[in-house]
């Protein structure tokens, strides 16, 4: 009988992502990326799609799929229970409207909507509450995820922003 090794040998995987050099070499913010200045001058650069009274919609710079957007309160809070009633209502209204935009533009068959509250729950930026809306399609993971646990993003982030912004200008 042949013995199998106890430890599975792992091969190094490489994925070519030349657009990430901008993040690697670029300046890192000293402040919270979700704390927006009052001025709207940087909105396009920051990928802000919409500004409401208590909350805003922004694209994820490191998306899980095309059209991955987030809804955030302006106030720098960490927990859902810290939101005021008006903030909570506007965030929910924006999430409803965002689902309609994503469905209309991307013709997605589903949308993952979630909140990772706290680092243990997977929050990459735990200090500022933010809700994710990720468009999904049947079979959207393609062979890449099945074969090698890799996801692909077929459209450039700036193109997605340019396509989505007019929808949010109508709000």
Residues involved in catalysis:
130
Inter-residue contact 129 to 117 (CB < 8 Å): yes
Q: Does 116 belong to an annotated binding site? A: no
Exposure string over 106-115, b if 16+ CB within 10 A, otherwise e: bebeebeeeb
Q: Which of 164, 88, 170, 72 shows the shortest CA–CA distance to 124?
A: 72
Backbone angles phi, psi at 165, to 5 degrees: -55, -45
Inter-residue contact 72 to 133 (CB < 8 Å): no
Q: Does 156 belong to an annotated binding site? A: no
> Per the annotation, where are the binding residues?
60, 132
Q: Which residues define the annotated binding site for substrate?
A: 60, 132
């Amino acid at each position: 009988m042949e013995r199998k090794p106890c430890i599975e040998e792992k091969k190094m995987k490489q994925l070519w992502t030349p657009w990430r050099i901008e993040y690697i070499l670029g300046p890192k913010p000293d402040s919270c990326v979700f704390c927006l200045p009052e001025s709207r001058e940087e909105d396009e650069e920051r990928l802000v799609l919409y500004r409401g009274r208590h909350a805003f919609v922004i694209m994820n710079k490191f998306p899980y799929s095309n059209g991955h957007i987030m809804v955030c309160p302006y106030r720098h809070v960490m927990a859902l229970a810290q939101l005021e009633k008006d903030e909570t209502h506007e965030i929910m209204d924006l999430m409803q409207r965002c689902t309609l935009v994503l469905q209309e533009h991307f013709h997605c068959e589903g949308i993952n909507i979630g909140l990772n509250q706290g680092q243990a729950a997977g929050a990459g930026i735990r200090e500022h509450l933010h809700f994710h809306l990720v468009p999904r399609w049947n079979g959207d993971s393609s062979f890449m995820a099945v074969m090698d646990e890799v996801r692909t993003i077929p459209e450039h982030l700036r193109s997605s922003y340019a396509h989505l912004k007019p929808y949010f200008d109508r709000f």
